[in-house]
């Protein structure tokens, strides 16, 4: 069994991994930039080491992270999500220095990180893919020619993209001509690669993803699906498990496709296969070779600790469950509580948290790294916490979500909390029938009231008095 893990990440996912280590009796090592010196993952880990003054350089240096793992006596490294989690160089360096990388092999990361190579692999395995280009585009002229062959609208995508970046919908040749240099520039800056390709745009699909686990003994299972259709500009806001929109036949088919996709590339550890669903047609979109932000809701409906399974797999142990043993029960929703102002085009709202109270009660979970007095730095993602609710029925889950969002108190920065409450009250959302155009089609949900409750007003007055008095 692994004895000591360096967590090559920050924020709530680092705290989540620390908790899994504690339950398994494994020592955890945190890393931090000076901007994160007072972060919760630093306080919770068994050991913590600085990466220097630069807020990003250390988190993005495979050499520095692996060297630190060796220096501190770690026998494994967990990359979390974001940063270097899908960088094959980090996995390669871990292997070269005898450090177990808690994730798939570098070869698989490369193969699935290249979107055109991933498409070829899925087509060869019989997994349906959207019509698109067979390889990367040479130039704008080829992009125009291929778009005319595929038919508008099309999606122009960065080959190495992810997280909703490096992607544009083009409804005409004119839009493609405008988007092409922008996507090239964004892809180069974000992913270090100017390669792009085209796919047919599936208009207003449902975004469905399946969680898989695979060990080194040839066992691969799926943990059912998550519905990620509530998103803005390709960024997920609310995730649901299982999808309230699937029939049992669709659920079984998507689960089977996800296992087939994982086996086709020799996948090992935890991963997610993402699909677009339109009518009865299912299309492979991409495979994420890491733990997902929204893994929490899958844990809630199945009772399986995904991070724990990741560590067990990396330790050379078989999966603790077989497919026939896996059941799902109830519904879970995850709300990404971002430090953003929805009324101001979701502009980031960084600063000091003057008061934070986590909601509780049956079926309520929060994954976070914030606390009262914590200053949210401007260098990283704006997500403050993940609020997760579970209940036996869809209607009960909606009611619990509204209650938990109302219970939570997070002052000092603007957040997306009230906006999510409006979504939960929306009749269309409550029917369980929605797609990726939901947010775009309901701008009226941004017209929520910002009236303060008496306790909020009292807190604001007290804060102002304390600031004036220099307390």
Active-site residue (options: 290, 336, 365, 400) = 290
Q: How many residues does the chain have?
A: 471
The closest alpha carbon to 195, from 141, 121, 116, belongs to 116
Please list, in sequence order, all residues whose beta carbon lies within 8 angstroms of the beta carbon of residue 203, skipping any fewer than 6 positions away: 153, 278
- DSSP run (H or E) holding 209: strand 206-214
The H-assigned helical ranges of 72-130 are: 88-96, 106-113, 115-124
- The Cα–Cα gap between 457 and 452 comes to 6
- DSSP run (H or E) holding 204: none
Q: Residue 290 catalytic? A: yes
- The Cα–Cα gap between 348 and 151 comes to 37
Residue linked to tokens 């839009």:
175
- The Cα–Cα gap between 309 and 272 comes to 14
The closest alpha carbon to 402, from 379, 420, 375, belongs to 420
Distance of CA 4 to the CA centre of its chain: 25
Question: DSSP letters along 354-406, please?
Answer: -EEE---STTEEEEE---TT-EE-TTS--EEEEEEEEESSHHHHHHHHHHHHH
**Beta bridge pairs of residue 197:** 157
**79 backbone dihedrals φ, ψ, rounded to 5°:** -85, -10
**Beta bridge pairs of residue 78:** 7
Instruction: Answer whether 251's CB lies under 8 Å from 242's CB.
Output: yes
Distance of CA 464 to the CA centre of its chain: 37
- DSSP run (H or E) holding 237: strand 235-241
- The Cα–Cα gap between 202 and 150 comes to 12
Tokens found for residue 236: 């997920």
Please list, in sequence order, all residues whose beta carbon lies within 8 angstroms of the beta carbon of residue 307, skipping any fewer than 6 positions away: 16, 17, 20, 291, 295
The closest alpha carbon to 291, from 75, 159, 94, 104, belongs to 104
List Cα–Cα distances, 257 to 117, 252, 387, in angstroms.
18, 9, 30
Q: What is the DSSP letter of 46?
A: S
The catalytic residue positions are 290
């Amino acid at each position: 069994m692994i004895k000591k893990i360096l967590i090559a990440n920050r924020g709530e996912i680092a705290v989540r991994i620390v908790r899994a280590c504690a339950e398994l009796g494994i020592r955890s090592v945190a890393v931090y930039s000076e901007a994160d010196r007072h972060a919760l993952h630093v306080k919770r880990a068994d050991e913590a080491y600085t990466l220097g003054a630069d807020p990003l350089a250390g988190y993005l240096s495979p050499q520095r992270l692996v060297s630190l793992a060796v220096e501190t006596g770690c026998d494994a490294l967990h990359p979390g999500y974001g940063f270097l989690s899908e960088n094959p160089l980090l996995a390669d360096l871990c292997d070269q220095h005898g450090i177990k990388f808690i994730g798939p092999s570098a070869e698989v990361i490369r193969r699935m990180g290249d979107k055109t190579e991933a498409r070829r692999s899925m087509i060869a395995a019989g997994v349906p893919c959207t019509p698109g280009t067979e390889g990367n585009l040479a130039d704008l002229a080829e992009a125009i020619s291929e778009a005319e062959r595929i038919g508008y609208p099309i999606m122009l995508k960065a080959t190495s993209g992810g997280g909703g970046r490096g992607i544009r919908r083009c409804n005409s040749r004119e839009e493609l001509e405008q988007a092409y240099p922008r996507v090239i520039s964004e892809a180069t800056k974000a992913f270090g690669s100017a390669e792009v390709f085209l796919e047919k745009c599936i208009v207003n699909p449902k975004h469905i993803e399946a969680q898989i686990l695979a060990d080194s003994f040839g066992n691969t299972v799926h943990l059912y699906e998550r519905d990620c259709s509530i998103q803005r500009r390709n960024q997920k806001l609310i995730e649901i498990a299982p999808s309230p929109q699937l029939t049992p036949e669709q659920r079984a088919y998507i689960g089977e496709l996800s296992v087939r996709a994982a086996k086709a590339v020799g996948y090992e550890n935890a991963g997610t296969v993402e699909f677009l669903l339109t009518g009865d047609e299912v299309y492979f979109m991409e495979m994420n070779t890491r733990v997902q932000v929204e893994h929490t809701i899958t844990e809630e409906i199945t009772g399986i600790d995904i991070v724990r399974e990741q560590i067990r797999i990396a330790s050379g142990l078989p999966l603790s469950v077989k497919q026939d043993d896996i059941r799902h029960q109830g519904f879970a929703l995850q709300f990404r509580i971002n430090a953003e102002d929805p009324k101001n085009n979701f502009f980031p709202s960084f600063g000091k948290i003057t008061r934070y109270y986590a909601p509780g009660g049956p079926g309520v979970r929060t994954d976070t790294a914030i606390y009262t007095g914590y200053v949210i730095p401007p260098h990283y993602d704006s997500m403050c916490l993940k609020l997760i609710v579970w209940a036996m029925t869809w209607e009960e889950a909606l009611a619990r979500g509204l209650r938990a969002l109302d219970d939570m108190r997070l002052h000092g920065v603007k957040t997306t909390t009230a906006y999510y409450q409006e979504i939960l009250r929306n009749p269309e959302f409550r029917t369980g029938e929605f797609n990726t155009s939901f947010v775009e089609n309901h701008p009226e949900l941004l017209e929520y009231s910002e009236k303060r409750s008496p306790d909020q007003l009292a807190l604001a007055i007290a804060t102002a008095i304390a600031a004036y008095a220099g307390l």
